[in-house]
Amino acid sequence: MRDGVKVKLGLHLSIAGTIDRVVDRAVERGCDTLQMFSRNPRGWRSKKLSFREVESFRKKLKQSGIWPVVIHTSYLLNLASPKEDVYRKSVEALGDELRRAGELGVPYVVTHLGSHLGHGKKEGSKRIIASVNNSFSEVDNKVVLLLENTAGTRNSTGSSFEDIEYIASRIKDRERIGVCLDTAHAFAAGYDLVSRGAVEHTLRRFDETIGLKELKLVHLNDSKQGLGSRLDRHEHIGMGKIGERGFRNILKSPLGRLPLILETPVDERRSDVENLKVVRELAK
């Protein structure tokens, strides 16, 4: 609870078996919201969703009260790639994810923006813009694509709020674009999220650059590496460099009112359910 308001927490969960089983897993873990892949994240091909799968998923989701649900695009996608074969497959896969989300009644698809592989941020951004515009022209539904900020690793695009706004502002159907803020990525990219003042300053910068109304989802992750490290290394909540102090302040901020998806490790130190419990304790 945060000032009498329940935080909306969830996990990224497996779709192993049939896709409707991901809802069962979310219910078992006590999730309020949910993120998933809609297909094999390590392959380009996708199996068409059957009518039975879609109906079962929609029915279970409605009964569970879990909302919203988010589809994360495949690890293989690189919308900024200068390699034509990879770029073509990435654009096709993005369109496929938007279609699948529409079939399943999922409101959001979140995607990494990719790597320009040394060809420059401007060229990478140009390709991302073209890929999203193409996908939206091919898939006419109400699914919103969420652009996820990156940690600023070498050749990546989208680590700064300015980079994300540059891309978003050039999408023809801006109403179908939103932002997913990953706390570990933001911290690694140099946006401080530890003290109350730092969180307020970071969110003010976001609001002035992009607008807080565009922020639809938070990936709530701690960072193994320090502020501005530009290394994408997720850690258990409170065990990393953002720490418990940082997450208390994050949860008290406007970020705490958004759907929060944890992408933390699962190891002998802590399970995903235990991470949910820690966040709920910090939110009190």
Q: Is 87 a catalytic residue?
A: no
Give CA–CA dist 46/48, Å, rounded.
6
Number of H helices, E strands in the chain: 9, 10
Residue 65 has a pLDDT of 97
Res 4 pLDDT > 80:
no
For the question of residue 205 being annotated catalytic, the response is no
Region 211-219: what's the mean pLDDT?
98
pLDDT tens, position by position, 19-42? 999 999 999 999 999 999 999 988
Q: Is 42 assigned a catalytic role?
A: yes
Is the per-residue pLDDT at 232 higher than 70?
yes
Q: Is 219 a catalytic residue?
A: yes
- Residue extents of the structural domains in the chain: 9-283
pLDDT at 195 over 50: yes
- Could you confirm whether 119 is annotated as catalytic? no
User: What's the rounded Cα separation, in Å, for the pair 155 and 120?
Assistant: 7
Q: pLDDT tens for residues 48-77?
A: 999 999 999 999 999 999 999 999 999 899
Residue 34's beta-bridge partner residues?
A: 11, 69
**Backbone torsions φ then ψ of 249, nearest 5 degrees:** -70, -35
Cβ-contact 29, 281 below 8 angstroms: no
**Could you confirm whether 191 is annotated as catalytic?**
no
d(CA 93, CA 99): 10
Active site residue 112: yes
- Residue 280 · residue 238 · CB < 8 Å: no
Banded model confidence at residue 2, pLDDT cuts 50, 70, 90: very low
Phi and psi at 141, nearest 5°, equal -145, -170
Question: Are the CB atoms for 79 and 95 separated by under 8 Å?
Answer: no
Question: Catalytic residue among 219, 222, 235, 248, which?
Answer: 219
Q: pLDDT for 128-148, tens place per residue?
A: 999 999 999 999 999 999 999
Amino acid in position 37: F
Number of Cβ atoms within 10 Å of the Cβ of 165: 18
Cross-strand partners of 110: 72, 146
Give yes or no: 232 in active site.
yes
Q: Which of 112, 127, 176, 236 is catalytic?
A: 112
Q: Is 209 a residue whose pLDDT tops 90?
A: yes
Helix or strand or coil: residue 57?
A: helix
Mean of pLDDT over the chain: 96
Instruction: Give the active site residue among 232, 235, 236, 248.
Output: 232
- Active-site residue, from 20, 32, 72, 236: 72
CATH level 3 topology of 9-283: TIM Barrel (3.20.20)
Catalytic residue among 96, 165, 182, 272: 182
Q: Where are the alpha helices (DSSP H) in the chain?
A: 21-28, 51-64, 84-104, 121-138, 161-168, 183-188, 196-209, 243-252, 272-283
Q: What predicted TM-score, i.e. pTM, was given to this entire model?
A: 0.96
Average pLDDT over residues 116-127: 94
Choose the catalytic residue: 96, 148, 222, 235. 148
Asked if 32 is an active-site residue, the reply is no
Would you place residue 5 in the very low, low, confident or very high pLDDT band (cuts 50, 70, 90)?
low
Q: Catalytic: 185?
A: yes
Active site residue 263: yes
pLDDT at 218: 98
Q: From the candidates 42, 84, 154, 267, give the one annotated as an active-site residue.
A: 42
Residue 219 pLDDT: 98
Task: Return the structure tokens found at 259.
Answer: 């759907």
DSSP character string of 231-265:
---EE-TTTSSSHHHHHHHHHHSGGGGS-EEE---
